[in-house]
Amino acid sequence: MDPATIIAALGSGLLIGSILGLIGGGGSILAVPLLIYVIGVVDPHTAIGTGAVSVAANALLGLWAHGRAHNVKWRCAFTFAAAGVLGATLGSYLGQAMDGQKLLTLFGFVMIAVGILAARKPTHMDAPDVRLSLTSAPVLLPRLLASGTGVGLASGFFGIGGGFLIVPGLVWATSMPMSIAIGTSLVGVAAFGAATTTSYALSGLVNWPVAGLMIAGGLLGSTLGTWASQSLSQHKRALALVFAAIVVLVGAWIVWTGLGKI
């Protein structure tokens, strides 16, 4: 691996980790474009498989912090994730079966949708404390299983963490507060990323050295992003809007270039 590729991989991981630490999510949507257009991974399928490794690792880092802050509803999280892993596994095989260029173009459309969702002002739920128990299971369980399966399918198909899908899915299923949904979502992000990684790794579609460098960069980026988040706490909304604009523009460029190659 040449020095330019090493620097690009570390820098990409640093950027993803910084975004995750700074605004609490969304950085993983940039993993595939960074792998293809910055690091130089030619095959879109390999980019998706490699990106999934970084997504899962970054989610575990965030989960540790949120778990210590008691921002994770573990029963809801594991139920959602268990259903989602099945969907992610199926989605990853469907993604591998699709032509790489067509898959990348569809990914561009997903980026545009994610950017629009990221630009929306978050709604804060005032629901009471949510617990998955024998009493609440008849209501919560079907919703968690249905939402988890659908989100996992999309996550596996496109090789993304799915945080922007998991958070609304959890809020819809349980009406849990947004701050809790963000922490709880990381269980699903890690699980879906691991399922996607396993599927692509079995097909030999993971560049492990690049993935390792991105994780290393993500460790530093997450630390820097968390530190910056405290200093820029009054500007998080503006930062989220800037990030959303970048995601939409990159997605539009991928779609524009991809449609000309299909």
**Better-scored residue on pLDDT, 162 or 92:** 92
So what's the pLDDT on residue 89?
Answer: 87
Mean pLDDT, the chain, integer:
81
pLDDT mean over 160-171: 73
**Better-scored residue on pLDDT, 47 or 61:** 47
pLDDT mean over 242-257: 79
Q: Give the Cα separation of 27 and 161 in Å (integer).
A: 9
- Which structural domain range is residue 199 located in? 3-259
Closest by CA position to 28, among listed 9, 53, 2, 3: 53
Name the band, by pLDDT with cuts 50, 70 and 90, for residue 65.
Answer: confident
**Which tens digit of pLDDT belongs to each residue from 201-244?**
999 999 999 999 999 998 888 777 767 666 665 666 676 677 67
Q: Give the Cα separation of 154 and 161 in Å (integer).
A: 10
pLDDT mean over 177-194: 81
Q: Give the Cα separation of 143 and 146 in Å (integer).
A: 5
Name the band, by pLDDT with cuts 50, 70 and 90, for residue 28.
Answer: low
So what's the pLDDT on residue 22?
Answer: 65
Q: Give the Cα separation of 25 and 63 in Å (integer).
A: 12
CA-to-CA separations, 191 to 49, 194, 235, in angstroms, rounded: 14, 5, 31
Q: Give the Cα separation of 46 and 94 in Å (integer).
A: 14
Q: Give the Cα separation of 111 and 122 in Å (integer).
A: 18
**What total number of domains does the chain contain?**
1
Question: Phi and psi for 111 in degrees, rounded to 5?
Answer: -60, -40
**Better-scored residue on pLDDT, 225 or 9:** 9
Asked if 188 contacts 73 with a C-beta cutoff of 8 angstroms, the reply is: no
So what's the pLDDT on residue 208?
Answer: 95
Name the band, by pLDDT with cuts 50, 70 and 90, for residue 80.
Answer: very high
Q: Give the Cα separation of 56 and 141 in Å (integer).
A: 25
So what's the pLDDT on residue 3?
Answer: 93
pLDDT at 117 exceeding the cut of 80? no
pLDDT mean over 97-117: 80
So what's the pLDDT on residue 154?
Answer: 81
For the chain, give the percent of residues with pLDDT over 70: 83
pLDDT mean over 100-114: 80
